[in-house]
């Protein structure tokens, strides 16, 4: 399975989280690095985008030799990188599942997607997605809709689907004043709601990356989309519950929680 994303030097999110999740779920992880960040538990202290030719070379090296059973995209940073990735994904076999995590802002509020790149993600990347996985802030970036309740999540799903993905998973973890974390998966015809109690653990760095990678991993293993989402949610719930304090800020989820539980 291939992740196309940025590096988190602190190891909690990005490429590092993706590869850890893939390993935990029994999938061989491969990577295309789009950017390097200087990042720790306190925030993003710098980011450097890789040139388009480096992104293309990594992608071609992996796909042309090894092949892929699923692809997950994360931090794309700029319009140029997003367009490069869209061109590469458009050349894949349409049967290869693509999970697009439209990463815009880090856990600490640091911007990871330039404003001019949003239109490229909206018009060129989302139409290639088997599943798009925006959180509520990313929904607003993509559609202008501000979600405050579950009915708003339905409106958000319709709006995102209007840009072309086959499915959208609207992540409702940022909904205010709810005792449960609520996510909505929709393809415009069927709705699947996923509910789980909130964890009091504040060490949640890498949650979105981990969920998208777990989802793509289960798709690579042959699950249909609703089943893959349910299994990915179960894995992330355990990783959240086991999240640990690392550094002075927000620690990461525990990608290896299942191994440590035995």
- Tens digits of residue pLDDT in 74-112: 999 899 999 999 999 999 999 999 999 998 766 556 566
Supply the DSSP symbol for 198. Answer: P
Q: What is the mean pLDDT of residues 202-211?
A: 94
Using CA atoms, how far residue 125 sits from 56, 163, 178, in Å, is 16, 9, 32
Rounded (10°) CA dihedral 67, 104, 119, 102: 40
Q: What is the largest CA-CA distance in the chain?
A: 49
Name the band, by pLDDT with cuts 50, 70 and 90, for residue 198: confident
Helical segments of 51-99, H only: 52-65, 79-90
Q: How many residues does the chain have?
A: 262
For residue 197, the model assigns a pLDDT of 83
Higher pLDDT, 182 or 109: 182
For residue 262, the model assigns a pLDDT of 62
Residue carrying the six token digits 């086991």: 242
Measured between alpha carbons, how far is 170 from 182 in angstroms, rounded to an integer? 9
β-sheet bridge partners, residue 192: 185
Long-range contacts of 182-190 (CB under 8 A, 24+ apart): 182/150, 182/153, 183/229, 183/233, 184/150, 184/153, 184/154, 184/157, 185/131, 185/225, 185/226, 185/229, 186/154, 186/157, 186/158, 186/161, 187/161, 187/225, 188/157, 188/158, 188/161, 190/226
Q: Report residue 184 CA to chain centroid gap.
A: 15
For residue 224, count other CB atoms closer than 10 A to its CB. 9
For residue 115, the model assigns a pLDDT of 81
Task: Give 17-29 pLDDT, tens digit per residue.
Answer: 999 999 999 999 9
Q: What is the mean pLDDT of residues 55-59?
A: 98
Q: What is the mean pLDDT of residues 32-46?
A: 95
Assigned token pair, 115? 């404003």
β-sheet bridge partners, residue 113: 77
Assigned token pair, 140? 């607003």
Instruction: Write down the mean pLDDT value for the chain.
Output: 94
For residue 191, the model assigns a pLDDT of 97
Q: What is the mean pLDDT of residues 163-172?
A: 97
Higher pLDDT, 200 or 127: 127
Lowest mean pLDDT among 119-133, 176-190, 208-222, 239-253: 176-190
* Catalytically active residues, by annotation: 171, 204, 206-209
In sequence order, what E strands does 121-203 have? 131-132, 167-171, 180-186, 191-197
For residue 111, the model assigns a pLDDT of 61
For residue 109, the model assigns a pLDDT of 60
Q: Which residues lie closer than 8 Å to 256 by C-beta, 6 or more apart? A: 20, 24
Share of the chain above pLDDT 70, in %: 95
Residue 71 has pLDDT above 80, yes or no: yes
Lowest mean pLDDT among 69-78, 170-179, 227-236: 170-179
Measured between alpha carbons, how far is 29 from 212 in angstroms, rounded to an integer? 13
């Amino acid at each position: 399975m291939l992740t196309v994303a940025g590096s988190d030097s602190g190891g909690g999110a990005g490429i590092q989280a993706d590869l850890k999740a893939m390993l935990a779920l029994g999938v061989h992880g491969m990577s295309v690095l789009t950017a390097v960040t200087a990042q720790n538990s306190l925030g993003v202290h710098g980011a450097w985008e890789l040139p388009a030719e480096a992104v293309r070379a990594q992608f071609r090296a992996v796909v042309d030799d090894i092949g892929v059973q699923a692809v997950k995209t994360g931090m794309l940073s700029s319009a140029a990188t997003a367009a490069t990735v869209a061109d590469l994904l458009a050349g894949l076999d349409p049967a290869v599942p693509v999970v697009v995590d439209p990463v815009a802002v880090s856990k600490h509020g640091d911007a990871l997607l330039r404003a001019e790149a949003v239109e490229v993600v909206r018009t060129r990347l989302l139409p290639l997605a088997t599943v798009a996985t925006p959180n509520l802030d990313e929904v607003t970036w993509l559609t202008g809709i501000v979600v405050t309740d579950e009915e708003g999540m339905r409106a958000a799903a319709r709006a995102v689907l209007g840009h072309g993905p086959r499915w959208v998973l609207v992540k409702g973890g940022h909904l205010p004043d709810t005792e449960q974390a609520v996510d909505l998966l929709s393809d415009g015809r069927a709705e699947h709601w996923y509910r789980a109690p909130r964890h009091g653990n504040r060490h949640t760095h890498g949650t979105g990356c981990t969920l998208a990678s777990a989802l793509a991993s289960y798709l690579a293993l042959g699950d249909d989309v609703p089943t893959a989402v349910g299994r990915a949610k179960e894995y992330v719930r355990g990783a959240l519950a086991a999240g640990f304090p690392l550094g002075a800020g927000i620690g990461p989820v525990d990608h290896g929680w299942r191994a440590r539980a035995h």
